Amino acid sequence: MAETREELVKRLEGQTNKIRRNIWRALKASGSGHAGGSLSAAETLAVLYFHKMNIRPNEPDWEDRDRFILSKGHANAGLGAALELAGFVDDDYVNRFYAMDDGRSPFGMHPDIKVPGIEFSTGGLGHGLPVGVGMALGARIKGKSFHTYVMIGDGELHEGSNWEAAMSGAMYRLTNLTAIIDANRISQSAHVAEIMGIEPLADKWRAFGWEVRECNGHSVAELVDALDALPYGNNKPNCLIIHTVKGKGASFAEDTYLWHQNAVNQEIYDKAIAELETV
Amino acid sequence: MAAAPTTDWRTKSQSQTRLAFGQALLELAAKDPDVVVLSADTQDLLGIREYIELYTERFVECGIAEQDKIGISAGLATVGLKPYVCGYAPFVTARGLEQVRNDLAYAHQNVVIGAAASGISLGVSGGTHHAVEDLATMRSFQNMKVIVPADVSEAYKATIWTLGQDGPIYIRLGGRTPEPDITDPDAPFTFGKATQLRPGNDVTIIACGATVEMAVRASDALKKDGVSARVLNMSTIKPLDTDAILKAAEETKGIVTAEEHHITGGLGGAVAELLAEHRPTKMRLVGLGDEFAVVGPTVPLRARYGMSAENIAAKAKELL
């Protein structure tokens, strides 16, 4: 029996909650990490990995799979959480997030292409979108119909290479490419607006030749609508700006640069998990 | 599809390695449907207009945006394509440095960079257009292979050789100054192996790129003075032919390295690193010192900074 929309949203909300738990698990096991930017992306990762993307976790190199690049690579705890839930890697990976390599590639603080399900090594900011342009162009040249998603942080947009790629994505009319901007409004040291203003963000992308949509990045229903509407049309690449809260789901970590990167001990973990129990 | 006739690419290369690279791309594209070529407004620099006409659907113009260009090449490689990146050596390596390191070397992508206008080959363009640090940076990256062809034959053959190789490759090419034929046109390209162009047992000259021809002239001049100078064309800088270098260190009294590059970090640096650890040997390093070259026509400019047969011969004599 086909899943109703209500059931779909409920299921994805459940996956979101599991992703958040996995994030805290990975950070606790590692002792520290980037909670804020991982937590802000949780709903989007859930909708991509458990609804939208055409993937085969038991065949991670399947050539027709949709691609996801986490350009804001420091949110790797979020990506790892989703990959573990989707079955790309086993549970043990999340428990040994920064463990020194004993012959199996661990995740580490930033994504490494060697890990099953990770499409590209990122961490230096401003690298994902150019690579995504290459993947989308490559799909066209190879006659493939897969879609490429690149998640970029709003603070990351300070890097000029994003705007080089914004030009090339539009120039080549890459309707098979979607930039997802995680607009949690906070970077490492302060609010993005205080560090270097990026507004008007949607107008910037439109001016660069992208078809833009915006939604509440913590509403699974809105995300499903926004991602199901792809491609947005007009023969343009797609930009989805998700308005989010950094550190979402843990009251003590929400909307503050103090939780960009932190130590995570048992006490913090227990507190975070207790809050997730109530959702 | 037949490959371009041998004489055709040679004529069209006009004794310039940068154009030989562009000509080789025609043969590669005919051979392999996965070959794609990228440019950063460098279509004439690498002589790829013919390629673009024949293989429009496998050409990506990236505009004057080296960071984007390298990232795009990596993305193309992930879907099984074989990207050849055309660029200015000073810009593709310096502006795109982090992309080369992260997206190509760290992510281990099969991308070939053809870097024209290396060294001080664009002499009159000035320091902004000189690339005298590229060997130092490129060879310091894990997974990266570094090739410096000495003439059009070697540039053409080396480019053909790169097809299907594992990991990123940097091919250092010249500018608009003709590069005389100096290698054996009939010999295959031997990746990772030095080629001996002159035998000799008194001293060894190890050169790459434009200085190879100078090294040969230096050896010939030294011969007249009764000095037997071995000449090695070190067309692969990474991985280095350690056997040939250690053998030269053992069999001759000292080693002169010659390169169109800073003497720090390039060919001379690579040879010195090897010898310091395994066989300390007297050396002289010919190349640009710790300074920006002045503006000037390429050939006299090279000579001004010691890149000449005369200076290489003089340095060799210091080691006797």
Q: What is the pLDDT of residues B146-171, one digit of tens each?
A: 999 999 999 999 999 999 999 999 99
Residue B265 CA neighbour count, 13 Å, CB half: 16
Q: Which residues of chain A are under the pLDDT cut of 70?
A: 100-105
Separation of CA A23 from chain center = 13
First-last CA distance in chain A:
27
**Residues B243-269: tens digit of each pLDDT:** 999 999 999 999 999 999 999 999 999
CA distance A220 to B87: 44
Question: What would the CATH number be for the domain defined by A5-277?
Answer: 3.40.50.970
Separation in Å, CA A221 to CA A47, A52, A230: 9, 13, 15
Contact assignment for B98 to A138 by CB distance below 8 Å:
no
Select from A147, A76, A148, A61 the least CA-distant residue to B71. A148
Please classify residue B9 by burial: count the beta carbons closer than 10 Å to its beta carbon, then call 0-12 exposed, 13-18 middle and 19+ buried: buried
CA distance B155 to B83: 17
Lowest-confidence range among A29-33, B10-14, B45-49, B134-138? Answer: A29-33
The predicted pLDDT at position A30 comes to 85
- Are the CB atoms for B36 and B58 separated by under 8 Å? yes
Select from B135, B156, B144 the least CA-distant residue to B271. B135
Separation in Å, CA B96 to CA B101, B106, B141: 9, 14, 13
* Among the partner residues A63, A127, A167, nearest to B102 by beta-carbon distance: A127
Could you give the 3-state DSSP secondary structure of residue B191?
Answer: coil
Check pLDDT > 50 for residue B1. no
CA distance A114 to B108: 10
CA distance B256 to B272: 10
Q: Which residue of B has its CA nearest to A172?
A: B60
Select from A40, A46, A16, A25 the least CA-distant residue to A255. A40
**Pairing of the two strands A211-216 and A238-243:** parallel
Which phi-psi region, left, alpha or beta, contains residue B280 (left: φ > 0; alpha: ψ -120 to 50)?
beta
The domain segmentation of chain B, as residue ranges, is 6-172, 195-318
- Are the CB atoms for B206 and B284 separated by under 8 Å? no
- Are the CB atoms for B259 and B287 separated by under 8 Å? yes
Cβ of residue B70 closer than 8 Å to a chain A Cβ: yes
Radius of gyration of chain A (CA): 18
**Residues A65-122: tens digit of each pLDDT:** 999 999 999 999 999 999 999 999 988 888 877 776 665 657 888 999 989 999 999 9
The predicted pLDDT at position B239 comes to 98
Check pLDDT > 70 for residue B3. no
Question: What would the CATH number be for the domain defined by B6-172?
Answer: 3.40.50.970
The predicted pLDDT at position A101 comes to 62
CA distance A41 to A245: 9
- Are the CB atoms for B91 and B63 separated by under 8 Å? no
pTM higher than 0.90 for the full model? yes
The predicted pLDDT at position A90 comes to 85
DSSP state of B100: I
Contact assignment for A131 to B65 by CB distance below 8 Å:
no
The predicted pLDDT at position A100 comes to 67
The predicted pLDDT at position A95 comes to 80
The predicted pLDDT at position A99 comes to 73
Domain B195-318 in CATH 3.30.390.50? The answer is no
Q: Which residue of B has its CA nearest to A127?
A: B71
Task: For chain A, list residues whose CB is within 8 angstroms of any CB belonging to chain B.
Answer: 63, 67, 113, 119-124, 126-127, 129-139, 141-142, 144, 160-161, 164-165, 167-168, 171-172
Contact assignment for A124 to B60 by CB distance below 8 Å:
no
B260 is catalytic: no
Contact assignment for B106 to A121 by CB distance below 8 Å:
yes
Question: E strand or H helix at A212, and its extent?
Answer: strand A211-216
